[in-house]
Every structure is written in structure tokens, then in C-alpha cells.
Amino acid sequence: MRTSIQQVLERFPNAKLSITPTPIYKLPRLSSHLGSNIYIMREDLTGFAIGGNKNRKLDYLIGDAVFKNANALITTNASSFSRNAAAAGKVFGLEVHVVLAGNESEQNKNSQALFHQFATILHYAPKKPPEAITAEYDRVIDDLHSRKKIVHELHPGGSDSIGSLGYINAFDQIIQYSRNTGVHFNKIIHATGSTATQVGLLLGQCIGEYDTTIIGMAASQKTNIQNERIRQLALATAQILEIQFDDSKIVVDDRFIGPGYAIQSEDGENATSMFALLEGVLLDSFYTGKAAAGLIYYALHGLLGENDNVLFIHTGGNSGLFY
Ligand SMILES: Cc1ncc(COP(=O)(O)O)c(C=O)c1O
């Protein structure tokens, strides 16, 4: 039987890069240690390239690019999104360009190795001022246009309305899991950054009428800023889907960022050890480890009870494990 989510999504082209459904299962030792029923959704195992939450976004972003007959793709940053985007563009026969801040010798070697593996065409711009990146980005686009290329631009992190569709689709998997097992999740916890993951989950919850609280553990921004970014993207996405969105559902917790974005936090490292030692699950330091720190804090401070069914979404970050 098709669900309401599938009906809403069916008109959007899907490149089907992600290997889904991803595993959802109970973490037995962590659950008894924390006194709640803790489940995990292994979005780190979406398969394509280095896995992670970016593939769900790319399912729709690349689907859209191919549908529009694009033959060149451009994005910025040395991020897990741009590396998976590079792989995705390549397998669909697009020429992939990524503009990076800093010269070649300043780049992370592992990141560069992945870009090279996917035959990405890299461009370098001075780190400062910020306009230098934009200028190089525009220059590359002009050059592609002069070669009569049909250029598709990808928002950094894949967080636009099309990218958000991926996590609406992921929410359908959560609904199916609940239907099949009778386990209803009353809390869903994950890391939030460029926002499309949380936006998609919130809209999926809304379309599927699933009663839960989705808590985004912020990786970089203060709660009020992140709330507003989520609200704006959710409203824009709701508009193209022609649905209503209730922004009172947005919940962001910024208490686990630690010293700052992309800097390890003590709580995050302790949480990472707990997941590794009790469950053999590897988390990264910048996103999933900090989200797990939030989950553990909630359990230890009475914000989760023994009857709660909590779903922790492991959003990936695998490439960061070996940096
Ligand atoms: C491992 C990981 N988890 C979570 C996120 C946050 O997802 P979003 O950018 O969709 O908010 C990111 C973003 O880069 C990430 O790399």
C-alpha cells in the first residue's frame, strides 16, 4: 500500500543512490545502561560512496539535475556532502566542479584523495575575503556556460527544498518500521547542521501524522538561529509540496556543541566511547558524537523514562573517523 508520503514524493525524480531501508534496531546494552529503550537508524549505512545522510539528499538533488538534462555540477567546500555529490554526479555522467577555500597544499589529504578518486575538477580560491570563493565560483560557472554546459548548482550541504525531500522519504521508513513492529518512537534525536535532515524529518512527521518529538542536537548554531533556518527551509519546502507546516514542532538543543563547530567536545568523546564500547557503533566527533552526548544527557537527567522509545539517527560522518 502506498503511503501518503510516497504520494507526495512521487512527482520528484529520485536517482536512487541510497541503499534503503537502512537498518533500524534496538541497542540492548545502551538501553539497559541508560534505562530507556534506545533504537538506532543506521543512516551512516546508506551505501553509496562514503555513506551518510548526504545520500538521501542526493537521491533527489541528482534526480532533479538529471531530469533537467544537466551535464555539469558545481558546489563548494571540502565536505562529506560535496564528496558524495562528486561521486553521484560522476556516475550519472556529469562533469563535477568543486570550489575549495585555500590552495591545494592547504587541503585535507583524505578529502583530496576522495575527490581524486571520483575524478572531481577542483578549483582553489583564497580563504579570505569570503567574496574570493564567490568570485571563483562565478568564474567557473561562466566558463562552463561558455562551453555550452547545462550547469546544476548544489547548495552546500545539500540543504534546499529538493535536498530536504530525502529525509521526508527517510521518515516514511520510520513509519513503516513502527507499523511492522508496533514500536512507536516518542522521541527522535539526531545532529543538525545545514538543516535539510531535520526539515525533511519534520515534514515527514507532518505528512505521515506521526506523533513524536524530533530533537535536533545543534552542531554549530545557537538554538534561535538554527530554529529560524529550519523554519525558513521547512516553509519553503512545504510550499512546493503544497502542504501546511506547523513550526511549533521545531526543537533544537544547542547545549552539546562544546567548544565550537568541528572541535571535539569532552561530552561528545565520552558518548562516542560509550557507543563504541557497549554497541560497537562508531560515531564521529563533530556531529553524531555530540548528538549522542545530548541523548545520554537526556537519559541521565530524567528527560527520558523507562517507557520511552527513542530513535537515535546515526547520520554518518564516516570520513571523519580517520582524519
Ligand atoms: C555526519 C553528519 N551528521 C549530521 C549532519 C547535519 O545534517 P544537516 O546538514 O542536514 O543538518 C551533517 C552535516 O554535514 C553530517 O555530516
> Domain spans of the chain?
4-53+159-322, 71-149
CA of 1 to the centre of ligand 1 (A): 31
Say how many C-beta atoms besides its own lie within 10 A of residue 178's C-beta.
Answer: 18
**Ligand 1 atom closest to the CA of 316, numbered from 1:** 1
CA of 21 to the centre of ligand 1 (A): 19
CB-CB contact of 132 with 125 (8 Å): yes
Q: Which residues line ligand 1 (CB under 6 A)?
A: 52-53, 80, 157, 159, 191-198, 284, 287-288, 315-317
86-105 tens-digit pLDDT: 999 999 999 999 999 999 99
Cα 191–Cα 195–Cα 197 angle in degrees, nearest 5: 65
Domain at 4-53+159-322, CATH class? alpha beta
Predicted TM-score of the model (pTM): 0.97
Asked if pLDDT for residue 321 goes beyond 90, the answer is no
Q: Whose CA is nearest to atom 16 of ligand 1?
A: 317
CA of 314 to the centre of ligand 1 (A): 10
268-294 tens-digit pLDDT: 999 999 999 999 999 999 999 999 999
| Mean pLDDT, all residues of the chain | 97
Biggest CA-to-CA distance, the chain: 62
Supply the angle between the helices 223-241 and 196-208 in degrees, to the nearest 10: 50
Mean pLDDT of 236-250: 96
Asked if pLDDT for residue 184 goes beyond 90, the answer is yes
Asked if pLDDT for residue 85 goes beyond 90, the answer is yes
The reply to whether 71-149 shares the fold of 4-53+159-322 is yes
Asked if pLDDT for residue 18 goes beyond 70, the answer is yes
Is the CATH number of domain 71-149 3.40.640.10?
Answer: no
Asked if pLDDT for residue 2 goes beyond 70, the answer is no
Asked if pLDDT for residue 1 goes beyond 90, the answer is no
**Ligand 1 atom closest to the CA of 57, numbered from 1:** 10
**Ligand 1 atom closest to the CA of 194, numbered from 1:** 9
At 323 the pLDDT is 59
Set of cell numbers at residue 283 = 560515531
CA of 81 to the centre of ligand 1 (A): 9
Asked if pLDDT for residue 238 goes beyond 90, the answer is yes
CA of 216 to the centre of ligand 1 (A): 10
At 319 the pLDDT is 83
At 320 the pLDDT is 81
What are the CA-CA distances from residue 292 to residues 166, 167, 220, 223, 255 (Å)? Answer: 22, 19, 15, 17, 12
